[in-house]
Amino acid sequence: MQSEFAVELRDVVKKFITPEGNELIAVDHVNIQIRNGEFFSMLGSSGCGKTTSLRMIAGFEWPTEGDIYIEGEPQGHRPPFLRPVNTVFQSYALFQHMTVFQNVAFGLEMEHATKSEIKSRVGRALEMVRLSSMDRRRPSQLSGGQQQRVALARALVKTPDVLLLDEPLGALDLKLRKEMQLELKALQQQVGITFIYVTHDQEEALTMSDRIAVMSYGRVLQVGPAVEIYERPTSRFVADFIGESNFFDGTVKAVNQKKAVVTIPAWKQDLQATLVADAAAGDAVVVSVRPEKIQISEQPKTNDNCLEGVVFNSTYIGSDTHLFLDVGGQQVKAWEQNRVSSLDPHLFYRKDQKLWLTFPAENVLVLPKE
Partner 1 sequence: MASSAAVPTDVKRPSLLRLIRENKVAQGLTLISPANVYLVLFMVVPLILVGILSFLSRGEYGQVLFQFNLSNYTRLLDPIYGRILLYSLGVGVATTVLSLLIGYPLAYYIARAPARQRSLLLFLVLVPFWTNFIIRIYAWIMILRAGGFLDTVVQWLHISDQPLHLLYTPTAVMIGMVYEFLPFMILPLFTSLEKIENAVLEAAADLGAPPYRVFLRVTLPLSIPGMIAGTILVFIPAMGMFVIPDLMGGAKTILIGNVIRNQFLTARDWPFGAAASMILMVLTMVFTFYYARRAGLSEELVV
Partner 2 sequence: MSEKKPPVWLRIYTFLVYLYIYIPIIILVIFSFNNQKLNITWKGFTTQWYAVLFHDRLVQLATRNTLIIALVSTAIATIIGTLAALAMQRYRFPGYDASEALMYIPIVIPEVVMGISLLVFFVLLNMKLGLVTITLSHIAFNIPFVALVVRARLHGYDNSIDEAAMDLGANEMTTFWRVTLPTIMPGILAGAMLALTLSLDDYVITYFTAGPGSTTLPLRVFSMVRFMVTPEVNALSTIWVLIVFVILLIGQLARNRRA
Q: Residues 206-223, buried b or exposed e (16+ Cβ, 10 A)?
A: bebbbbbbbbbebbbbbb
Query: What is the DSSP annotation of 305-363?
Result: SEEEEEEEEEEE-SSEEEEEEEETTEEEEEEEE--S----GGGS--TT-EEEEE--GGG
- Our finding on whether 225 is near partner 1 (CB under 8 A) is no
Judged by beta carbon distances under 5 to 8 A according to partner kind, the member of partner 2, partner 1, none in contact with residue 90 is: partner 2
Q: Of the listed pieces 71-79, 171-179, 230-238, 332-340, which binds partner 1 according to CB under 8 A?
A: 71-79
What are the two backbone dihedrals, phi and then psi, of residue 357, each rounded to the nearest 5 degrees?
-110, 135
Q: Which of 28, 29, 62, 98 binds partner 1 (CB under 8 A)?
A: 62
What are the two backbone dihedrals, phi and then psi, of residue 74, each rounded to the nearest 5 degrees?
-70, 135
- Our finding on whether 158 is near partner 2 (CB under 8 A) is yes
- Our finding on whether 106 is near partner 2 (CB under 8 A) is yes
Return the closest-CA partner of residue 50 out of 192, 223, 180. 223
Q: Which of 15, 29, 35, 78 binds partner 1 (CB under 8 A)?
A: 78
Q: Which of 51, 52, 75, 216 binds partner 1 (CB under 8 A)?
A: 75
Q: Of the listed pieces 43-51, 66-74, 148-156, 243-251, which binds partner 1 according to CB under 8 A?
A: 66-74
- Our finding on whether 79 is near partner 1 (CB under 8 A) is yes
Q: Which is nearer to partner 2, 107 or 250 (CB)?
A: 107
Q: Which is nearer to partner 1, 8 or 166 (CB)?
A: 8
- Our finding on whether 3 is near partner 1 (CB under 8 A) is yes
- Our finding on whether 72 is near partner 1 (CB under 8 A) is yes
What are the two backbone dihedrals, phi and then psi, of residue 175, each rounded to the nearest 5 degrees?
-65, -45
Is the Cβ–Cβ distance between 49 and 65 less than 8 Å? no
Between CA 9 and CA 40 the distance in angstroms is 13
Q: Which of 69, 106, 217, 267 binds partner 1 (CB under 8 A)?
A: 69
CB neighbour list of residue 246: distance below 8 Å, 6 or more residues apart: 288, 289, 290, 291, 294, 332, 333
Is the Cβ–Cβ distance between 42 and 215 less than 8 Å? yes
Specify the DSSP element, H or E, that contains 100: helix 100-110
Least distance to partner 1, CB of residue 76, Å: 3
Judged by beta carbon distances under 5 to 8 A according to partner kind, the member of partner 1, partner 2, none in contact with residue 107 is: partner 2
Number of chain residues interacting with partner 2 (CB under 8 A): 24
Q: Which is nearer to partner 1, 12 or 307 (CB)?
A: 12
58-97: which residues touch partner 2 (CB under 8 A)?
58-60, 79-81, 85-87, 89-91, 93-97
Between CA 77 and CA 63 the distance in angstroms is 8
Between CA 219 and CA 228 the distance in angstroms is 19
Least distance to partner 1, CB of residue 318, Å: 34
Q: Which is nearer to partner 1, 2 or 190 (CB)?
A: 2
Judged by beta carbon distances under 5 to 8 A according to partner kind, the member of partner 2, partner 1, none in contact with residue 111 is: partner 2
Is the Cβ–Cβ distance between 288 and 294 less than 8 Å? no
Judged by beta carbon distances under 5 to 8 A according to partner kind, the member of partner 1, partner 2, none in contact with residue 25 is: none
- Which residues of this chain interact with partner 2, rule CB under 8 A? 58-60, 79-81, 85-87, 89-91, 93-97, 106-107, 110-111, 154-155, 158
